[in-house]
Structure 1
Amino acid sequence: NDCLPCHAGWVGSTVPLCIYGFCSMMRPIEPFMTEFLTGTYKNLTTEQVNRQVYPVWTYSSLVLLIPVLLVTDLLRYKPVIILQGLSHVAASLLVLVGSGVRSAQLAFFCYSVAVAADVAYFSYIYSVVDPRFYQRVTSYVRGAMLLGYAMGALLGQLLVSLVGVSLYCLAAVSLASVSVALITSFSLPMPETSLFLQGTYSPQQVSSVEDSCDSEGRNFSTWAKSVSPVRRMLRLALDCKTCYSSMAMLFFCMWSAMGKCGFYQVAGYVQLLWVHMQPHNFTAYNGGVDGVSTLSGAAASVAVGHMSLEWSVWGELVLGAFTFLIAGAIFLMDLTDNIWISYSCYFFFKTVYMALTTICTFQIAKMLNRERYALVLGMNSFVGTILQSVLTGIVISSKSLQLTIILQFVVYASYFAAMSLLFTARGVYTVLHTKRSAGGDLAERATNLPEASCL
């Protein structure tokens, strides 16, 4: 293992990556973006924001995800993380100084580039850290991102409510934070190889890796140059088939993709719902709710990780049951006239979603070889973005139903209710099938006992 292509220590790569994740997510303007765009600073209408601005990042992410996934592997992660930092800076700068619909659309296009590059951020650590540190550094990296987002939201809320700082200043603070993230990205160590290509070593090459670090470097370099792009794509397709051949894996990936679609639709448009409920309240507690719910979701994720439950048996049923509660929370969030009830429902929605997506993540990880993490993460994100684009096109596009914000959230709640039915049915089947199989094994052992005693 000493010759594996990774750095000797995990601290040197994890610390700057955590700083990058924290600063890139600490954007105080985020919970107040709708108010900023529709207020006196940008003077856009809620209709323009809903139908012309916000959908841009959904459609752009769909187009960018697969190319970014492939380029991420080719460029070995760090350049794509730097690109993500540049995209965050460009988006924040356009939000701060731009004006008009076109400028806002360009800002959200830059944001979509950053979202598509998430696969590089989450896969980078596995290419530079020894496998025995994977669980530890994954928790640190995800924790840094969640903490950064929560701190940004809470800081924004405190500055607006207690100090009376303008939303323009929040946008400036956001720009400063993502600029620090960009500077930090340059200090990340460069991986020596990629996870996808590493997974396509021949047995002879794997043997040479174990024998000598120097020969590994030469063999890999020669092999990588000799493999055509067509063969790499074929290998990628075969890996996809292998990863999704398990029905259990398929259902957890389905929830991951479908849940991401629903979460981003609700989280992305909930500010418009709150503006509809309180059209003249520019001291709303959006930031506080977003920050506290993020911290609560992080705590729930940690708690789920320590629960002693046989997730392979009960996991799908748990997903179905709690997805039903999410659907109910969205219905209530949408139909109530009380902003505090709506805030509470969003708090519950976000907390439960983050716990459920953690279940999916570690169940998927258990079934995968480590070199396929980035592949499955990228494909799940791609499928989720396709679903999100379809849903956006149906309920929001100016050429389709053009539903009001209230009816949009009725659709989102119905979407989660349909997910709940699917996964509850699958969960009941899994539990009954497991119990039946266990009963059959016991009966078989009981039948064989007399024979065993006679021997």
Structure 2
Amino acid sequence: MDCLRTSPSNSWIYPTVILCLFGFFSMMRPSEPFLIPYLSGPSKNLTSTEITNEILPVWTYSYLVLLLPVFVLTDYVRYKPVIVLQGISFIVTWLLLLFGQGVKIMQLVEFVYGLVSATEVAYYAYIYSVVSPEHYQKVSGYCRSVTLVAYTAASVLAQLLVSLANVSYFHLNVTTLASVSVAFFFSLFLPMPKKSMFFHAKPSKPAPQKTPGQNAIPEEAQSEAAHQEAGTLSRRGEESQPSSPKPRHEALRRCVQWFQDLRECYSSKRLFYWSLWWALSTAGFNQVLNYVQILWDDKAPSQDSSIYNGAVEAIATFGGALAAFAVGYVKINWDLLGEMALAIFSTVSAGSLLLMHYTLSIWVCYTGYLVFKSSYMLLITIAVFQIAVNLSVERYALVFGMNTFIALVIQTVMTVIVVDQRGLNLPVTTQFLVYGSYFAVIAGIFLMRSIYILYSAKCRKEVQSPAQPQPEEPRNMGMATKL
């Protein structure tokens, strides 16, 4: 039995391996790039209008409603039960998707998948409860990298099976069901944490501080998903808050503390504007991902032509990961030029979406999507680091959760107005005109912000620079000299 025990120095290895296995098989979903062709095909026989305006919006609504309760529950029950719940939700989602029929059942599929999305927070928060601080960065990189590898491999596998082996979309979903079932199996072997960030927190030694000007992004956090990377400054807000009577109930006391922490975090203009971009762009990004397959099916119907959704998703994910990795080798002053980068790449995103709207070629549409997704993954990596660099793990979890919630609120408003049958009920091509215009507005906001920052920096430089001595005029100047 002693051989099964791990030494304290290696205690992080076992949960990391199990968590990575769970992440790999939960993301190994080859059916996803071909979801819309499956729903509109003979298996489900749903119309494009039903999918766009009645079924897909349910995911946005359920995700928004479930996010905050699940966020609190995740910490209260210490992560593992929520990860197991996510595994069960995966299985229920694909069972319904395989054997359910009709709009109502597919709406239920989207609701359960909204629960899957909401419980994803437990996957990344878990590592902070079972791993010592010196391993946070390393384990974060492992967990995010394995999910990217799994998603890319699943997309490539799906394309090969469809194009070369002529495998049906139904059997792709069977393969996905088997994969998520294996993920659920591994979730049962995760160790139960003894602590959590908030409700079951334990006092620990303050982590070493980071230099505020540090701009080099760690190698393990290069991908889109360094979403859970955290800075390590101590929580100054708790120490600086004036003493006041604590609420009687622990939950209420925690909520008050969270509100105070968030207020102090967002009081930083730099963090506020990076968070603003995160929320705005993530809302648009999720909206595009939710409906892009419908646009592809409109440009090139799957019943009439060969489609390459899997290959496009694989290339987009891999290209985005490479772009994010390259950020670590770019040495610029993000404090001064960060908003300019946000403006430039938001303009690129707007242009690619408008191109997808106006083009009649599916290949041009695919190319626009590749540019759009790579740009987002590049910038979200920068944004994650800029937000996390001066925050503790607890505060980063709060800011990340709040940014995600705000993004979902924006996405929900967009869905109600643009997509829902109770709103404008726009066709999918017109929707992408709206999304392109939306990113153009984001680009305009941050362009004005960057101009203001550059102008302020120039003014400060002029004020701080010593005045140049003026040449003295000679006191006794002759008439000829004056003339």
Q: Same fold judged by TM-score > 0.5?
A: yes
Q: Deviations over 1:262-309 (max 9, x none)?
A: 111111101111111112336300110011110111111111133222
Residue number in structure 2 paired with 1:117: 119
Are 1:335 and 2:337 counterparts? no
Are 1:304 and 2:327 counterparts? yes
Match of 2:94 among 88, 92, 95: 92
The residue type paired with residue 412 of structure 1 is Y
Residue number in structure 2 paired with 1:443: 466
Residue number in structure 1 paired with 2:275: 253
Q: Specify whether residues 126 and 305 from structure 1 end up closer, same or farther in structure 2 by C-alpha distance, changes over 3 A only.
A: farther
Pairwise CA distance, 1:227: 5.1
Give the structure with the higher percent helix: 1
SS of structure 2 residue aligned to 1:89: helix
Q: CA RMSD in A?
A: 2.2
Structure 2-normalised TM-score? 0.83
* 2: CA distance, partners of 1:397 / 1:181: 34
* 2: CA distance, partners of 1:185 / 1:27: 17
* 1: CA distance, partners of 2:345 / 2:28: 29
* 2: CA distance, partners of 1:340 / 1:431: 39
Are 1:291 and 2:314 counterparts? yes
* 1: CA distance, partners of 2:128 / 2:205: 21
Moved more, 8-17 or 106-115: 8-17
Residue number in structure 2 paired with 1:314: 337
Q: Specify whether residues 421 and 73 from structure 1 end up closer, same or farther in structure 2 by C-alpha distance, changes over 3 A only.
A: same
Residue number in structure 2 paired with 1:412: 435
Is contact 1:327-1:416 (8 Å) kept? yes
Q: Specify whether residues 281 and 247 from structure 1 end up closer, same or farther in structure 2 by C-alpha distance, changes over 3 A only.
A: farther
Pairwise CA distance, 1:433: 2.4
The residue type paired with residue 122 of structure 2 is A
Q: Deviations over 1:111-138 (max 9, x none)?
A: 1001111221122212222222222222
Residue number in structure 1 paired with 2:380: 357
Q: Specify whether residues 58 and 7 from structure 1 end up closer, same or farther in structure 2 by C-alpha distance, changes over 3 A only.
A: farther
In our comparison, the structure showing a higher alpha carbon Rg is 2
Residue number in structure 1 paired with 2:415: 392
Residue number in structure 2 paired with 1:161: 163
* 1: CA distance, partners of 2:247 / 2:147: 36
SS of structure 2 residue aligned to 1:195: coil
SS of structure 1 residue aligned to 2:318: helix
Pairwise CA distance, 1:367: 2.3
Q: Deviations over 1:232-269 (max 9, x none)?
A: 11111111112211111011111111111111111110
Q: Deviations over 1:366-414 (max 9, x none)?
A: 1211222221111111111101100000011111111111110000000
* 1: CA distance, partners of 2:307 / 2:132: 46
Are 1:70 and 2:72 counterparts? yes
* 1: CA distance, partners of 2:82 / 2:247: 21
Residue number in structure 2 paired with 1:262: 284
Residue number in structure 2 paired with 1:218: none
Gaps of 5+ in 2: 1-7, 207-245, 470-483
Q: Specify whether residues 442 and 247 from structure 1 end up closer, same or farther in structure 2 by C-alpha distance, changes over 3 A only.
A: same
Is contact 2:247-2:253 (8 Å) kept? no
Residue number in structure 2 paired with 1:194: 196
Count of residue pairs the alignment pairs up:
423
* 2: CA distance, partners of 1:304 / 1:207: 31
Match of 2:142 among 140, 143, 148: 140
Pairwise CA distance, 1:207: 7.9
Structure 1-normalised TM-score? 0.88
Q: Specify whether residues 437 and 127 from structure 1 end up closer, same or farther in structure 2 by C-alpha distance, changes over 3 A only.
A: farther
Pairwise CA distance, 1:173: 0.5
